[in-house]
Structure 1
Amino acid sequence: MASPTVPAEGAAERELPQTLIDRLASRVASGGADTATIPSPFTGEPFATVPISTADDVRKAYERAREAQRAWAALPAGERVKPFLRLAETLVDRREEILDVIQLETGKARRHAMEEFLDVALCSLYYARRAPKLLKPKRRQGMMPGLTRVQELRHPKGVVALIAPWNYPFALGASDIAPALMAGNAVIHKPDTQTCLSSLWVLDLLISLGLPEDLWQIVVGDPAEIGDPLLEEADYVSFTGSTRGGTAIAAKVAPRLVAYSLELGGKNPMIVMPDADVERTARGAVRACFTNAGQLCISIERMYVHEDIYDRFVPRFVELVKGMKLGTGLDFDAEMGSLTYRRQLEAVSRHVDQAVKEGATVLAGGKARPDIGPLFYEPTVLTDVSGDMDLCANETFGPVVSIYKYRDEDEVVARANDTAYGLNASVWTKHPARGRRLAARIQAGTVNINDGYGAAYASYDSPMGGMKQSGVGRRHGAEGLLKFTEVQTVASQHFMDLEPPAAIGYDTFAGFMASGIKLMKKLHIK
């Protein structure tokens, strides 16, 4: 079985300047002496040390954040967006630096780090342009036209706790924090310790661009130590991570009736229709399945290929997978990088090994590649995966996809929906209208036609999130900002009260009001 190739220039050659690491580490909200050492997934060798926060550090961070938030919320929204308008251009000018940071802490290929950079730049710019209008007081229709005047106001929640994952630390931290801040909130942010440097980097940058010092604070540490105070003090909680973690957070904050948004796991299907372009679909499937070594909640883990195209599509897809370049270089040569954690490598190996033992067939990959780096695993394609295998039903979160053959649309929709998850899906066809009809039947928060995940995710004007066990709430679109606000209705009554004048009996008044319903309907006032 052929293995994926390795770029000739395979080693990560650059290191982060110690002065940069020290400056970023100083941004951690920590008053203690304890530290954590961050290893590079490419080599397993330490490359940075950061302070660890305590429970008391978290509580003090909230105190400072509440003080900063009051002054920040008093500013017009047009003033609050200014640091983020400056951010887009500054990110472009310093993109090589942040791409290095992302690669060294996550192990991902540079082309996939570039997706994080683009997400932060474009998403923050989207909200910076639209936040003042979204937050502006709005006139709403009153009960009695001309007599009841209603205004909808938006107030910030207060201090938001945001817990970001390790797989896309730059994007899934900053791109959610930006709208929360623009809405007038402060943020206490807990990134994963392994991947905290990219968040510290953009925090440091935003402060240099005018963001108040204590408005966004980053705490680093073990959830067992800082998780409780982080949630206990929050006015709103935003979490991206596992379904298990999201369920625990929801249970923790429920007694206080604190609102939350959760983007959780997925077992995302891709449907290849009989009229799909084989070459385009096969190349798109490589990206859909193996971006960031499959450590992407919206990546494809299940692929359903119509029987009429199966024998042409699968060989071509497997050929492309076997030809993928793996590597550790801080350039754009590698098509796939490393896994980030040892535990993730073990989970991927366990899923694949169990499936093979129970009868699955490996068409490409299927093994770890310590010759490239300690956490590398080959992009892997399997068939003959049955429902009793862990690989079939559970999220693998690695560079593994299983392929299934199907006969008709009803069958494939049922199989695509046969999961507890509902985050993302992909449909490939030469006829987009047909693809849209099929997409509407799939139980997933986003469905991409002739793309794996980016078309929907990066369309920031439209909401993104999960159905079923894949989450609660949405990021992006108006909801991605307004969820960080409390809505208030202010109604004033003019000229006539909502009860009869003294000279009119209630029977007459009731008849007048009832007749008014018919009149308002006829005039299309209501």
Structure 2
Amino acid sequence: MSIYQPIEKAGEARRVYQLTSPVTMEPIGELVCASTDDVKEAVAKARKAQTAWGEMPFAARAKIIQKAVQVILQRQDEIIDTVIKETGKAPADALAMEIFSVVDAMTYYAKHAKKFLATEKRKVPGIVGLAKKMKIVYKPLGVVGVIVPWNGPFVLAANPAVQALMAGNAVVLKGSEVTPYSTKILEDIYREAGLPDGVLQVLMGDGQTGADLVEAGVDKISFTGSVNTGRKVAESCARQLIPVTLELGGKDAMIVCADANLDRAADGALVGSCMNTGHYCCGTERIYVVESVYDQFVSLVVEKAKALKQGAEHGGDEDVGAVFWDKQMTIIESHVEDAKAKGAKILVGGSRNSEQKGLYYLPTVITDVTHDMTIMRDETFGPIICIQKVRDENEALRLANDSEFGLNGNVWTADLDKGFNLARRIDTGGVSVNDMAMTYGVPAAPFGGRKHSGVGQVNSVTGIRGYCFAQPILLDKGKGKLQSGYPYTAKNVEGMKKFINFLWGKTRLGHWLS
């Protein structure tokens, strides 16, 4: 049975899906998809609401965001229950990703947006600076479309939304068909917080709904999802000449140096690979361990992996939840089987959890992996720990960079200077030293991928400015006649030539004025 399955409903012309719990494999509700006309109406409504919202002072916008934070705190149990119902993720993962990260980010942007987007004075260089001064105004783009994936259905809606909102935009979000209600609840929260009608709307729908949103006349698309879908989104945005940011997943590498704290590194391998059932874009999917500590590291990882608890019966003690989507289970199983067929060793797990009714895959430790295996090249997105022995750190670095992805990564060493120098040589969007990939959870850090992991960056001052148009305004200092030399004369042309040579020739005055 599919997690979402198309059904027919009497009197309903729109597409309808039956939703199924990945924990119990029992029905949990229905999804009625927004039609093409519904999407267009939502964007038109957002367009009307945006003008007044964009003119509202930062302090007034921030007040509503801060109120929304309080609503989230009051309704956090409801949010967690909704997320777990649709995804089957462990309670600790739901709390950390969908509550802590959200209120942390919303508080950060409510506090700092005014500073990040304040009108900025910039020096006009060169001789022109003697006559002109310049200001940069950060203006909202208008209506922003956000397409939200199923692995973080609340946080990956709330985080881009708060940045776009604080920048003065209206937002139309499209949640995943796998987890529609976990995203829809954000609209209810902002309504309760007093956000004006139409400024933030959440559409329920499938892939076609997302395609309709991309084509609905928005001013920017923020997309998180697969490479294949991201490419289609980018092509559509390019044709329409609208900006887009793409976060398309990864195949993050972990490098364990000979001087690393192995016990801590083993813990990092487990949480980096198994958190959120391995369903997060910067999860650890490839681990390279220097041969002098390889055996000890593997032994620690195996011991710790065997102790991980799985299943809803463990409540708050659960370590690894269900696989959120049956399609992802198929990918995980095919990657593991390919690795086994090509000589990899399964030391722990390697199959579905037969003791659980739902979509549960056992935490799995695999060694003797190589880059000839699919599991070391394509995104697995599951609770799989793949460990490869390397001669030294240089080989680890070479293998870490031998990927079409480049989103995040981590390095483990007692020498922070060495860790920093290794990290900067990894061709990836961000790196953590002596911790799992933490970049997305730090609002001040720009987040984005290299290669097939995406286009552009989100979060931090970089991200929030990405929801604006930076408009330069030049102001003339003088009050007399315009000194343009127009209409032109041969004398003016000869004079300009001499002036250019004077500025950047022997005197180099132009150099000092720049």
Does the pair score TM above 0.5? yes
Residue pairs, 1:12-411, within 5 angstroms: 35-116=16-97, 117-143=99-125, 144-224=128-208, 227-329=211-313, 331-411=315-395
Are the aligned partners of 2:249 and 2:453 in contact in 1 as well (CA < 8 Å)?
Answer: yes
Q: Deviations over 1:418-463 (max 9, x none)?
A: 0100001110011111100000100010101011112x22221120
Q: Deviations over 1:91-147 (max 9, x none)?
A: 233322212121111110011111221111111111111111222211111252342
The match for 1:472 is: 455
One-letter amino acid of the structure 1 residue matched with residue 102 of structure 2 = V
CA distance in 1 between partners of 2:15 and 2:207 (Å): 15
CA distance in 1 between partners of 2:237 and 2:486 (Å): 48
Are the aligned partners of 1:148 and 1:492 in contact in 2 as well (CA < 8 Å)?
Answer: yes
CA distance in 1 between partners of 2:363 and 2:430 (Å): 24
One-letter amino acid of the structure 2 residue matched with residue 413 of structure 1 = L
The match for 2:417 is: 433
One-letter amino acid of the structure 2 residue matched with residue 338 of structure 1 = A
The match for 1:493 is: 476
Distance 1:284 1:487, change over 3 A: same
One-letter amino acid of the structure 2 residue matched with residue 458 of structure 1 = G
Are the aligned partners of 1:282 and 1:317 in contact in 2 as well (CA < 8 Å)?
Answer: yes
Distance 1:212 1:361, change over 3 A: same
Provide the aligned C-alpha RMSD in A.
2.1
Distance 1:34 1:439, change over 3 A: closer
CA distance in 2 between partners of 1:100 and 1:512 (Å): 72
CA distance in 2 between partners of 1:417 and 1:260 (Å): 26
CA distance in 1 between partners of 2:291 and 2:245 (Å): 40
Alpha-carbon offset, residue 254 of structure 1: 1.2
Q: Deviations over 1:312-333 (max 9, x none)?
A: 1110111100110112158421
Distance 1:525 1:129, change over 3 A: farther
Give secondary structure in 1 for the equivalent of 2:184. Answer: helix
Are the aligned partners of 1:161 and 1:231 in contact in 2 as well (CA < 8 Å)?
Answer: no
Alpha-carbon offset, residue 308 of structure 1: 1.0
CA distance in 2 between partners of 1:511 and 1:520 (Å): 13
* 1:463 and 2:446 matched: yes
CA distance in 2 between partners of 1:508 and 1:413 (Å): 58
Distance 1:97 1:32, change over 3 A: same
The match for 2:432 is: 448
Give secondary structure in 2 for the equivalent of 1:446. Answer: coil
Distance 1:349 1:428, change over 3 A: same
Alpha-carbon offset, residue 355 of structure 1: 1.4
One-letter amino acid of the structure 1 residue matched with residue 316 of structure 2 = F
One-letter amino acid of the structure 2 residue matched with residue 112 of structure 1 = D
Are the aligned partners of 1:423 and 1:445 in contact in 2 as well (CA < 8 Å)?
Answer: yes
Are the aligned partners of 1:137 and 1:151 in contact in 2 as well (CA < 8 Å)?
Answer: yes
Alpha-carbon offset, residue 469 of structure 1: 0.6
Are the aligned partners of 1:231 and 1:237 in contact in 2 as well (CA < 8 Å)?
Answer: no
CA distance in 1 between partners of 2:416 and 2:190 (Å): 41
One-letter amino acid of the structure 2 residue matched with residue 488 of structure 1 = Q
Alpha-carbon offset, residue 289 of structure 1: 0.7
CA distance in 1 between partners of 2:423 and 2:213 (Å): 42
Q: Which 4+ stretches in 1 moved above 6 angstroms? A: 501-504
Alpha-carbon offset, residue 487 of structure 1: 1.5
One-letter amino acid of the structure 2 residue matched with residue 67 of structure 1 = K
Residues paired across the two proteins, number:
494
| Gap regions ≥5 residues in structure 2 | 1-11
One-letter amino acid of the structure 2 residue matched with residue 55 of structure 1 = T
Are the aligned partners of 2:269 and 2:385 in contact in 1 as well (CA < 8 Å)?
Answer: no
Moved more, 164-173 or 330-339: 330-339
Alpha-carbon offset, residue 179 of structure 1: 0.5
Are the aligned partners of 1:193 and 1:220 in contact in 2 as well (CA < 8 Å)?
Answer: yes
CA distance in 2 between partners of 1:226 and 1:102 (Å): 21
CA distance in 2 between partners of 1:58 and 1:330 (Å): 41
CA distance in 1 between partners of 2:260 and 2:306 (Å): 22
CA distance in 1 between partners of 2:20 and 2:89 (Å): 14
Distance 1:493 1:58, change over 3 A: same
| Gap regions ≥5 residues in structure 1 | 1-30
CA distance in 2 between partners of 1:498 and 1:232 (Å): 46
Alpha-carbon offset, residue 235 of structure 1: 1.2
One-letter amino acid of the structure 1 residue matched with residue 113 of structure 2 = A
Are the aligned partners of 1:32 and 1:51 in contact in 2 as well (CA < 8 Å)?
Answer: no
Q: Deviations over 1:261-287 (max 9, x none)?
A: 000121110000000011111112110
Distance 1:37 1:406, change over 3 A: same
Distance 1:167 1:137, change over 3 A: same
